[in-house]
Structure 1
Amino acid sequence: MIRTLLGRLRPRRSALPYLLLLPALGLELIVHLVPMVVGIVMSLKQLTQFFIRDWSAAPWAGLSNYRMAVDFHAPVGKALLHSFWVTCAFTVLAVGLSWLIGTTAAILTQDAFRGRGVLRALFLLPYAMPVYAAVITWSFMFQRDTGLVNHVLHDQLHLVDDKPFWLLGDNSFTALVTVSVWRSWPFAFLSLTAGLQNIPRELYEASALDGAGVWQQIRRITLPSLRPVNLVLVLVLFLWTFNDFNTPYVLFGRSAPEAADLVSVHIYQSSFVTWNFGAGSAMSVLLLLFLLLVTSLYLLFTTRRKEA
């Protein structure tokens, strides 16, 4: 009887993994949900520098912060819209170039050759380096008079007539994309290299016997086989890049140039530079809703296409 009772109290094997995950899942929800709820509450308040000591005493603003953020004819909304379009262009270029370089490097190092392991390790160095050390190094390289970039382009290759400013003006956008791609493409390379290991070599051998060239093998075998990996990879790169704060903040400081004014830095300036935490929180919530919408549409589109 006692054995029967203990057997009933024991969790079923099918439920045991979920029970073991509950503590970690609970902590994960607390870490993410609590700041999210606090941010939503802050977006509904007139939280300025006058209420920093006791932000709960700030008067309610309702949806006025949201209306101010989406009023694209007013200065605040117009600046946010400009920052949004800059972030979209930055994300498309950074993600596209990272995927293209990562795919090319993964395909070129797919077959075994002498020194392949060393070359792969070198490719992963930008991803392994701490972000602050890497971006600070790039900021020194982009210096106008003493930077390595102008030294190579102007003094060595003579590609430009004058040494440009890379961290100011329109060139700041090019500098930001360069640093972001340099940091992101090794992750694409690593993910795609792992995906290439699951493609049977017999497929390439059979296609070579049928007369298929290298480009035909890549188009007909490699890319279709990597589709499940690419679906996840593109989404992860999009979320990381669109939300990136460390790269522009370390590269440009607290105030990014207008050409490189990403949404993440713009929200930081609205919150911690102008001390309008209510408006900054409203912009953060709008950014979260946009990312959730894009992610949902992406997953819906890819799922339907896969089923079709």
Structure 2
Amino acid sequence: MRLRSANTFPWLMLLPAIGLMAAVNLLPIVQGFYMSLLKLNQYTLAQYLDAPFIGLDNYRRVLTDPASPLRHGLGLALRNTALFTLVVSALSITIGMGLALLMHRDFAGKNIARTLLLLPWIVPSYVVGTLWGQLFQRDNGLINTILVDGLHLLDERPFWLLGSNSFWAIVIPTVWRNAPLLMLIFLAALQALPTEPYEAAELDGVSRWRRFVHITLPLLKPVIAIQALFQVIDNVYSYNIVSMMFGQGAGHPGEWADLLMPLLTRQSFSYWLFGQGAAVSFVLMALMLAFVAVWMRAFRRSLVSHEI
């Protein structure tokens, strides 16, 4: 009886937090799903949750109806989002790991360097989008001034916010903001690694690169896998930087910079198709849940067997 009471007490203490988290997370999801089953547009918005119930018709429209405005540009947005997610995740993890390895070494001013490197992560994403949007201006942007007038690497000022360059215009600030947090996480993991394998490898004359490949990376595999998963989720749902860089949320990023979330928001609010917008959101959420399930299954053994 005493053992059962001891096992029950922690759960009783956690109940308020569990209830609050359920209310904060589950209630909006349930309401959003119900909205996706309603004919919610400019004519029925005043009725809100009492709008006409149409079942799965919104899902049919966004998936199969070519006349649905939410399908306009969807293929390009899917392509851009997939490529953006892959490039940003790979670069953020690589740069974050490199910075963590550098900050793991002893040198003068290490604490100051760590603080300065964390500044991009502290800046709100809305500010990042506005700031880099100004830096990428063709005529008076600082980037073109440095490349053309300062370093003389280019003969003429390129358009960063138009054409294919706009893809890199959203990749660079996103990596700039994501890498410091990954640096901090990888640095904490590096500091928790056991020292015995490194001492043995150093006695055997193993090079620093081979130690990184054969000792550090295998030990950090669970941390890298989890952070890669978080990066994929965050980048698929990227919105703030793109929306602020191209017209403060109302502009069209163009063929190479339009991502799923800006497209969904713009089309939903432009055409007042809130029911269809909710349907697209839940289709995307289902796809991401499936991706997370596959990812966790693929890395389950390493996540369970390794402890950092």
Please say whether Structure 1 and Structure 2 have the same fold, judged by a TM-score greater than 0.5: yes
Partner Cα distance (1:272, 1:82) in 2: 19
Select 1:59's aligned residue among 44, 47, 52: 52
Give the C-alpha shift of residue 49 in structure 1: 0.7
For the pair 1:26 / 2:19, whether they are aligned, the reply is yes
Please identify, of 182-191 and 257-266, the stretch whose mean Cα deviation from structure 2 is larger.
257-266
Counterpart residue number, 2:243: 249
Determine if contact 2:167/2:257 at 8 Å carries over to the other structure: yes
| TM-score for both structures, normalised by structure 1 | 0.91
* Post-superposition CA distance 1:89-116 (Å, at most 9, x none): 1000001000000011111221211111
Deviations 1:274-307 (A, max 9, x none): 2110111111001110110100000011115667
Could you say if the C-alpha distance between residues 201 and 111 of structure 1 is closer, same or farther in structure 2, counting changes exceeding 3 Å? farther
Q: Could you tell me how far 1:134 is from its partner in structure 2?
A: 2.6
CA distance in 2 between partners of 1:37 and 1:298 (Å): 25
Secondary structure, aligned partner of 1:151: helix
Alpha-carbon RMSD across the aligned residues, in angstroms, is 2.1
Cα deviations across residues 187-241 of structure 1 (Å, max 9, x unaligned)? 1101100000112333222212211111101001111111121121111111111
1:261 corresponds in structure 2 to 258
- Tell whether the 8 Å contact from 1:71 to 1:78 is kept in structure 2 after alignment: no
Alpha-carbon distance between aligned partners in 1 of 2:299 and 2:114, rounded to the nearest angstrom = 31
CA distance in 2, matches of 1:229, 1:290: 23
Q: For residue 210 of structure 1, what is the aligned residue in structure 2?
A: 204
Tell me, what secondary structure is at the counterpart of 2:7?
A: coil
1:229 paired with 2:223, answer: yes
| Distance verdict in 2 for CA 1:225–1:92, change over 3 Å | same
2:267 pairs with one of 267, 270, 288:
270
1:4 corresponding residue in structure 2: none
Greater shift after overlay, 172-181 or 17-26? 17-26
Correspondences of 1:87-236 after superposition (within 5 Å): 87-236=81-230
**Is residue 41 from structure 1 mapped to residue 34 from structure 2 by the alignment?**
yes
Query: What corresponds to 2:277 in structure 1?
Result: 280
1:261 aligned partner, one-letter code: D
* Aligned-pair identity (%): 38
> Matched residues in 1 for 2:75 and 2:58: separation?
15
String of CA shifts for 1:53-85, please: whole Å, max 9, x gaps.
112343233222212222385564352232122
- SS at structure 1 position matched to 2:5: coil
Q: Which amino acid aligns with 1:222?
A: T
Q: Which amino acid aligns with 1:205?
A: E
Structure 2 CA distance, aligned partners of 1:292 and 1:257? 29
Aligned residue pair count = 301
- The aligned residue for residue 293 of structure 2 is 296
Give 2:61's aligned amino acid: M
Deviation per CA, 1:18-57: give whole Å up to 9, x if none.
Answer: 2122111111111111111111111112211111111234
The letter for the 1-side match of 2:110 is: R
Matches of 2:207 and 2:7, distance apart in 1 = 49
Gaps of 5+ in 1: 1-6
Tell me, yes or no, if the aligned pair for 2:100 and 2:183 is still in contact at 8 Å. Answer: yes
- 8 Å contact kept, 1:203–1:221: yes
Q: Is the 8 A contact 2:221 2:302 kept in 1?
A: no
